[in-house]
Amino acid sequence: MRLDLPPSVLAFGARGPRWQAFVDGLPRLLDDLVAEWELTPTGEVWSGYASVVLPVRRAAGGEAQDAVLKVTFPEDEETEHEPLALQHWHGRGAVLLLRADPHRRAMLLERLHRRDLNALDPLDACEVVAGLYPSLHVPAPPQLRSFTGYLNRWREPLADLPRDAPVPRRMVEQALSLLRDLTGDPASTGTVLHHDLHYQNVLAGEREPWLAIDPQAMSGDPHAEPAPMLWNRWDELVGPGAGDVRTGLRARFHTIVDAAGLDEDRARAWVVVRMVVNAYWSIEDAERLGRLLDADERDWITRCVAVVKAVQD
């Protein structure tokens, strides 16, 4: 049986030849895994950002169990250690990993509800996420790459950004100086960092009300975790009746810092570093392709700068 891929997955191919090869191989790969792992598909293929997810049933010791089969684009290093982190968490704070084939970037995961933290008010969601931190922020296994090492690769090109780049120069200097300090601090490494812990990567469960999925795990500092809760659900910060963006962002930041008992200055430093590096990546992408920033990229960079300002003044 060949599974049909939805248009959203077929569209991955537009990202380049390697993505097209991933899409082309998916029907066969999913078929093989379904057969080898003795699964029965129970619905359509869903798409994530860099993955496909197939709801399945598996016979586990005679009893049927709902699960999902997730296959990820194999060339992103950020997703490489997803199964390792899930295995390490062992279901605490996160979805249970039932089976994995890291070579094929395939995982069988406990089935959760599709309801994610977008269903809650953003500040309630921030409290939920902060409540997951103690379960997720455990000592890191040695295989995880360090978040500071990962970021330091961009230190030089970031320092070389032209003065007319769309990120204020003093913000770039500040991020570089903070990154240098954080890199020299042993507390910046050694804890499992989910690294992509935002509203859509926390799903409702049966065992627990909310569980994290989709880690881009690295060895890091818990204080580096809040940033994605600030830059996501942006429309609600700027939409009608939203109040001012700065107040909304600060409310999210302080809700997480307070509920998780983080050191405020350290959490702020990590927000600055992550947002400036995020902005840099967009600039670099456009540069690499030899074109000007498009409107979406300019909006994104403006957003990164707004987050840095909001947590500081």
Ligand X SMILES: Nc1ncnc2c1ncn2[C@@H]1O[C@H](COP(=O)(O)OP(=O)(O)O)[C@@H](O)[C@H]1O
Binding site for ligand X (CB under 6 A): 46, 48-51, 53, 68, 70, 95, 109-112, 114, 200-201, 203, 213-214
Q: How far is the CB of 257 from ligand X (least distance, A)?
A: 25
Name the active-site residue from 196, 214, 299, 313.
196
Q: Which CB atom, from 193 or from 276, has the smaller least distance to Mg ion?
A: 193
Per partner kind, with CB cut-offs from 5 to 8 A, the member of Mg ion, ligand X, none near residue 279 is none
Least distance (Å) between residue 249 CB and ligand X: 23
* CB 39, min distance to ligand X, A: 14
* Residue 223 touches which of ligand X, Mg ion, none (Cβ within 5-8 Å per kind): none
Q: Out of Mg ion, ligand X, none, which partner does residue 68 contact, by CB within 5 to 8 A per kind?
A: ligand X
Tell me which residue has its CB nearest to ligand X: 48
Q: Closest approach of Cβ 94 to Mg ion, in Å?
A: 13
Residue closer to ligand X, measured from CB, 212 or 306: 212
Pick the closer one to Mg ion by CB: 213 or 279: 213
Which of ligand X, Mg ion, none interacts with 96 (beta carbon under 5 to 8 A by kind)?
Answer: none
Site residues (vs Mg ion, CB under 5 A): 48, 201, 214
d(C-alpha 203, C-alpha 197), whole Å:
11
Judged by beta carbon, residue 27 or residue 48, the one nearer Mg ion is: 48
Chain residue at closest Cβ approach to Mg ion:
214
- Per residue, what are the HEC states of the chain? CCCCCCHHHHHHHHHCHHHHHHHHHHHHHHHHHHHHCCEEECCCCEECCCEEEEEEEEEECCEEEEEEEEEECCCCHHHCCHHHHHHHHCCCCECCEEEEEHHHCEEEEECCCCCEHHHCCHHHHHHHHHHHHHHHCCECCCCCCEHHHHHHCCHHHHHCCCCCCCCCHHHHHHHHHHHHHHHCCHHHCCEEECCCCCHHHEEECCCCCEEECCCCCEEECHHHCCHHHHHCCCHHHHCCCCCCHHHHHHHHHHHHHHHHCCCHHHHHHHHHHHHHHHHHHHHHHHHHCCCCCCHHHHHHHHHHHHHHHHHHC
**Is 124 among the catalytic positions?**
no
In the complex, least distance from residue 76 CB atom to ligand X, rounded to whole angstroms: 9
In the complex with ligand X, the residue whose CB is nearer, 171 or 203, is 203
The residues that are catalytic are 196
